[in-house]
Amino acid sequence: MKQAIAIVLMICFLPGCAANMAAQGQNGPDMNIVKRQQTRYDVERMLGLPVETIQRTDGMVVELYLVEAKTEPNMARAAGHATADLFTFGLWEFVGGPVEAYQGRRQRVVVQYDEIDQVVSVMTDRQLGNSGMAY
């Protein structure tokens, strides 16, 4: 009997996680901040350390960063999650939670620096396409 009460209480408090994540959005770096003529130090301070660095023969350096993509709050998605929670008595969270967690997936950012470590170009997933790295 105590287990049943514990399960019911858990189901009552569980709903809202996916809906809350959708309503809040996820913070991530604003890619509009990374501009030409910034130093490598400034970029690493905003994006973190690169996961890959390539030193080209012409003196240029190309670095790959993986950052959590910023997602905007979406009230329609939040309402959908809340409705699904209601009709499934909270079981939707086992599906909706991972779905919302995936919404903030990692984004590839490729930054090219010149000989004095200043940004020459910045490319994100959308600009790179699905073809992989654009070194």
Q: Between these two residues, 113 and 32, which has the higher pLDDT value? A: 113
Delimit the domains of the chain by residue range: 2-131
Does the structure show a pLDDT above 90 at 113? yes
CATH code assigned to 2-131: 3.30.1450.10
With b meaning 16 or more CB within 10 Å and e meaning fewer, what string describes 30-48? ebeebeeebebebbeeebe
Output 46 or 13, whichever has higher pLDDT: 46
What percent of the chain stands above pLDDT 90? 15
Per-residue H/E/C for 78-112: HHHHHHHHHHCCCCCHHHHHHHHHHHCCEEEEEEE
Asked if 95 and 109 touch (Cβ cutoff 8 Å), the reply is no
- In angstroms, what CA-CA distances link 80 with 6, 17, 42, 89, 99? 26, 12, 40, 14, 12
Q: What is the 3-state secondary structure (H, E, C) of 1-30?
A: CHHHHHHHHHHHHCCCHHHHHHHHCECCCC
Structure confidence at residue 11 (pLDDT): 57
pLDDT mean over 38-49: 87
Predicted confidence (pLDDT) per residue in 48-66, tens digit? 899 999 999 898 999 998 8
Instruction: Write down the pLDDT at residue 17.
Output: 79
| Average confidence score pLDDT of the chain | 78
Report the predicted TM-score, pTM, of the whole model to 2 decimal places.
Answer: 0.59
Instruction: Give the per-residue pLDDT at 85.
Output: 82
Top pLDDT among 31 and 40 is at 40
Contact 88, 15 (CB under 8 A): no
Question: Is residue 1's pLDDT more than 80?
Answer: no
